[in-house]
Structure 1
Amino acid sequence: MENIWHHRKVAETAAKGCMVCYKPSSSVLITPDSKDFFYICPSHLKDRNFALPTDDEAKAIAERKKKEELDREIEAVKKEYEEKMKKKQQKKDKSKDRDKDAKDKDKEDKKPDKEEQERDDKIKALTDKADASSTAKSGVDDGPRVFQLQKHFYNQRLEKMRNAEAAKRARERMRNPQLFPSVPSGNP
């Protein structure tokens, strides 16, 4: 059995005792072939002495965090632009001079175009950064999903599986009547 464990969540009503501390937990570590699983607290998954995330998962988490930061920057630029546009609109509405020259109107029309272009350039630069540096999926849980157990805990799981298999073989032997000694057929 390979030392790769996938983190899954179960319903809160199906929570069972954690393997380490016996507190009810809805987090489960399961092997890819679904042969072995156990319930574990999310706090134990963060403990480096219990399990380590695989390299691919660690990279994916870092990329996901970068993408979130870039998304926040993009939102900030958009909000900043909207606020500027609102202020300009308020200034326009407040001005009572409606008889401006055509030149003044042209100058006012050109200024928002420049600002829009600047905003679009900023957003485009940030989205290009996000696309280049991140291919992680959004909407995924915050922690890693694939782990490797530390040697001691992994050996403990292997021994538990061996003991369960030995008990199963013993039960099968007990069901077979040919394994028991037969009644003596000779005279005493």
Structure 2
Amino acid sequence: MSLKNLWHHRKVADGSAKACWVCYKPSTSVLITPDNKDFFYICVGHLSDRQFCQPDADEAAAAAARKKKEELDAEIEKVKKEYEEKQKAKREKRKEKVKDKDKDKEKEKDAKKTDEEEDKTDEKAKDDKIKELSKSKDQAQVNLGPRIFTLNKNFYQMRIDKIRNAEVAKRNRERLSNPANFPSPPSGLP
């Protein structure tokens, strides 16, 4: 039986967690072959261990793109919050100015014009920054991390040996359960 050294990372429900193949701690991550012939539970920490397995080259690039996307999302949120805080502060200033400047209506008109101009420039700057960040975010691929791995040769050989041993044990059980494989008792008298 030939087993390819290609493993896909899958997640299972928390209630279905089983012992990690390496450290025996409960884990919800599973590595499975594409043809579903073999699988084993593994901790996420072991997947990042270079001595255990390596991610596929394309998958590693996808993981880097995911990190970049998360950073861009965080930066966009930061820009939006800053803009909202500036707008709140300006509204409060306007309310205070309106109360203080009821007497000077001409100054109020000029203040409103400058406030409106500032609002437009701030909004334009915010929109430009968000567009720039969105463009670079769109370029990043949306993946949840590496999903395809290859095991190091020692661990891969251990998986192959385990499958072979299971096949041998199955054949032995079948042989023992078949009475035709045992010798018949003597039929003559001694």
TM-score by length of 2: 0.82
Asked if the contact 2:7/2:33 (under 8 Å) is kept, the reply is: yes
Cα RMSD, aligned residues only: 2.6
For 1:175 and 1:73, locate their aligned partners in 2 and report how far apart those are by CA, in whole Å. Answer: 67
Structure 2 match to 1:136:
142
Q: 2:168 corresponds to which letter in structure 1?
A: A
Q: 1:97 corresponds to which letter in structure 2?
A: K
Alignment of 1:1-188 (within 5 A): 1-95=3-97, 96-98=100-102, 99-100=105-106, 104=110, 105-132=112-139, 134-137=140-143, 140=144, 143-181=145-183
Q: Percent same amino acid among aligned pairs?
A: 57
SS, match of residue 144 in structure 1: coil
SS, match of residue 128 in structure 1: helix
Equivalent pairs, count: 183
Q: Specify every segment of 5 or more residues in structure 2 that has no aligned partner in the other structure, as ranges.
A: none
For 2:151 and 2:90, locate their aligned partners in 1 and report how far apart those are by CA, in whole Å. Answer: 59
Q: Specify every segment of 5 or more residues in structure 1 that has no aligned partner in the other structure, as ranges.
A: none
- Which shifted more, 98-107 or 55-64? 98-107
TM-score by length of 1: 0.82
For 1:108 and 1:14, locate their aligned partners in 2 and report how far apart those are by CA, in whole Å. Answer: 59
Q: 1:66 corresponds to which letter in structure 2?
A: K
- Which shifted more, 3-12 or 123-132? 3-12
Q: 1:53 corresponds to which letter in structure 2?
A: P
Q: CA deviation at 1:61?
A: 1.1
Summarize the Cα distance change of 1:102–1:42 in structure 2 as closer, same or farther, 3 Å threshold. Answer: closer
For 1:23 and 1:110, locate their aligned partners in 2 and report how far apart those are by CA, in whole Å. Answer: 61
Q: 2:51 corresponds to which letter in structure 1?
A: N
For 1:16 and 1:127, locate their aligned partners in 2 and report how far apart those are by CA, in whole Å. Answer: 40
Q: CA deviation at 1:41?
A: 2.5
For 1:30 and 1:114, locate their aligned partners in 2 and report how far apart those are by CA, in whole Å. Answer: 54
Q: CA deviation at 1:151?
A: 0.3
Summarize the Cα distance change of 1:182–1:20 in structure 2 as closer, same or farther, 3 Å threshold. Answer: same
For 2:118 and 2:16, locate their aligned partners in 1 and report how far apart those are by CA, in whole Å. Answer: 61
SS, match of residue 136 in structure 1: coil
